[in-house]
Amino acid sequence: MTQSDQRRPRPAPVADDAIRAMRRRRIVRRTLAVAIVLLAGLSILDHIFHPANDWQRFDGRSFKVVGVQDSATILIATGAASPLPVRLAGIIPVQPPTPGDTADGTTDWSAAAEKKLGELATGKTMTLRLDPTVTRDSAGRLMAWVYPGAGTTIDIQSLGEALAAAGLAFADSASDSLYEIRIDHQESEARRQSLGLWSQSALGGKPRQTRSAASRP
């Protein structure tokens, strides 16, 4: 054997080639599996959160309300295992009082608003109207203007308007929707009539909770 033959690399054994090929196939299979899972996850997220999908699934459609989650959120039956929370658009809900706030007998307007919302909506069919672009809030809840009845139009009073009219919610001045004009009008009427938050028992006609305080999470 010459010196050049000694320097020449020896061919790898057949067994080593087979092991490397097996490892490559295993890596490819795992990569494909991860890609499929990611695509499925993205599809689910898009189905849930994408405004276009929300608009197609919910705008103008009617659902039965099975309960309320808080003073501005209803729960609707969609056929899924759990009801879907729908946050009323156009209003700022009154926040629950901190401990001691009601010690002087002041009304808990948050509880009053939740009770009123339950009376207005629970067990009834409601029609949803969505904004074309922003359909979810920061917590992922669907946002909609909600109207009593099936297939109803916006010429009747929405749930948000009803709460504002009773003095149990603030109008959301940050909203630029045409729907908001009506809610703002209802708040003005409640203030004029000293209803709910604006009653004379609430600090001489002023709300115990300010709009900015209610806006804080």
Q: What digits encode the pLDDT tens for the residues 67-93?
A: 999 999 999 999 999 999 999 999 999
175 has a pLDDT exceeding 90: no
Confidence tier at 200 by pLDDT (50, 70, 90): low
pLDDT value for 151: 76
pLDDT value for 35: 61
Both tokens of 109, joined, read: 């307007």
pLDDT value for 114: 95
Confidence tier at 156 by pLDDT (50, 70, 90): confident
Both tokens of 153, joined, read: 């139009």
Q: pLDDT tens digits for 8-26?
A: 555 555 566 666 777 777 7
Q: Are the C-beta atoms of residues 75 and 84 closer than 8 Å to each other?
A: yes
pLDDT value for 204: 46
210 has a pLDDT exceeding 80: no
User: Both ends of the chain: CA-CA distance in Å?
Assistant: 83
Q: Could you give the CA distance from residue 102 to residue 86 in angstroms, rounded to a whole number?
A: 28
Indicate the DSSP class of residue 136: B
135 has a pLDDT exceeding 50: yes
